Amino acid sequence: MSYAPLAPPGLAVEDRTQEIARELLERARREHHHLTTLNRWTKRVLAWSLSDAQLKAGVLRFIDCLPSLTTPQAVARHLHDYFPLHHLRLPAAFRLGVSLSRPGLLTAPAVSAVVRHIVEQVARQFIAGSHLHDALGLIHRMADRGVLVSFDVLGEQVTSDDEANTSVRRYTTLISELSTACRRLHAPDAVGDRPLVHLSIKPSSLSAHFDPVSFEESVADALRRLRVIARDAVDHDVAITLDMEQYRLRDLTLELARRLLVEPGLGERLQLGIVLQAYLRDTPQVFGELLSWLRDHGRRLSVRLVKGAYWDSEVAYAKQRGWLLPVYHNKRQTDEAFERLTEQMLSHRELVRPELGSHNIRSIAHAMAVAESLGSSKDAVEYQLLYGMGDAIQGAIRQLGFPVRVYAPLGELIPGMAYLVRRILENTANESFLRQDLE
């Protein structure tokens, strides 16, 4: 399905960006009045978590270790250890919880149960569910709103071949079941030639040896499992995107994409995508090289542009080794890089299918303005937002006639929360959006 441009080209891109941003903001505010995007508990937890850097670090450490705390005593001890200095800044319920976690005041099982309940409540806001029926239900709900879905199976880097093989089975089961269910689904008007079923895949979940130190061995090991997923995706008309994880895994991930795209009988049929992270300093160069490769090989690739969700860990990793930081120092530099990459991406639509992963109204409006200045129709860019965040913005984008896809994590709540909250709290763009939503 094709859309007419939002307005005739003419205004300078910056003027048009601001005009579209005001329109989006006004529509989002109207949407917000009848949407309950965050429940009361979630608002309180997130508002506190984002209140300062030291608290944020404590929250990240605590939820990161929570899945490994196997006894109530361990949960109570870690709760008290991680938040000894912040009693006065805690919401009343949490301040009481920390106080009661001291020895002799309340049983550890009671404290542990309360803490896990709170974390699960927050997790339910951002994780679509842990079962296949949760995914199917979300597809139907989003379709009713004219929104597409991309599913992400939560998990960390696998440590054995058995775990990697389990990941493959999980992905292929999702592909088969979701595609079968979607054949009976009335597709949203915004679909056009876009895939109804879309799956995001973590390359590190496909090999226990995914390490740039052993580059060829890592690529070969992950590729043999990725082929299985890719063939199933082609057979079921499902699109897959290779998620971009840590900086040190970036080149491995890009090589996997290149190898798949030239795979005989597969590469020309596969709906494949990759992710570019704007906060990495060398992304423009890497993207330029990728464009040249696509041109030389006669291939086209979906590109999801994001700002990046691992800033804190990338900085720590580089500093520990005395390396130059691979990321920009501040949010403004990342935002500016994001806009330049948006322009680069939209100028090469013959080689890439642009996808924009951002909750920042300025970034979204800029992409719309650039596409318009190039004479592109409204379906030139797919706008992607995280599940549980930005329902109002999602509605505003759809009202203007642009395609929207929700990025929805699937997985167990407590283990999944450790992964997802790192993404939310480390991503400065999402953080600023959350603060707006919490006001």
Query: What is the arithmetic mean of pLDDT over 374-379?
Result: 93
Contact in structure between 406 and 149 (CB atoms under 8 Å): yes
Query: In this predicted structure, which of 58-72, 348-362, 371-385 has the lowest mean pLDDT?
Result: 58-72
Contact in structure between 278 and 272 (CB atoms under 8 Å): no
Query: In this predicted structure, which of 36-45, 60-69, 120-129 has the lowest mean pLDDT?
Result: 36-45
Give residue 285's pLDDT: 98
Categorize the per-residue pLDDT at 188 as very low, low, confident or very high, splitting at 50, 70 and 90. low
C-beta atoms surrounding 316 within 10 Å:
11
Distance CA 158, CA 358 (A): 28
Match 């930081």 to its residue by tokens.
Answer: 325
Contact in structure between 5 and 376 (CB atoms under 8 Å): yes
> DSSP assignment, residue 129?
B
Categorize the per-residue pLDDT at 391 as very low, low, confident or very high, splitting at 50, 70 and 90. confident
Q: pLDDT tens, 43-57?
A: 666 666 667 777 777
pLDDT of 152 higher than 50 = yes
Whether the full predicted model's pTM is greater than 0.75, yes or no, is yes
Categorize the per-residue pLDDT at 429 as very low, low, confident or very high, splitting at 50, 70 and 90. very low
Closest CA to 352 of 306, 261, 270, 291: 291
More confident residue, 323 or 73: 323
Contact in structure between 130 and 144 (CB atoms under 8 Å): no
Categorize the per-residue pLDDT at 60 as very low, low, confident or very high, splitting at 50, 70 and 90. confident
Give residue 115's pLDDT: 77
Query: What is the arithmetic mean of pLDDT over 375-394?
Result: 90
Distance CA 157, CA 159 (A): 7
pLDDT of 100 higher than 60 = no
Query: In this predicted structure, which of 150-159, 278-287, 351-360, 400-409 has the lowest mean pLDDT?
Result: 150-159
Give residue 110's pLDDT: 76
More confident residue, 122 or 43: 122
Domains of the chain and CATH, by start = 13-32+128-424 (3.20.20.220), 40-124 (no CATH)
Dihedral of the CA atoms 427, 432, 434, 439 (nearest 10)?
A: 160
Give residue 33's pLDDT: 57
**Mean pLDDT rounded to a whole number for the chain:** 84
pLDDT of 439 higher than 50 = no
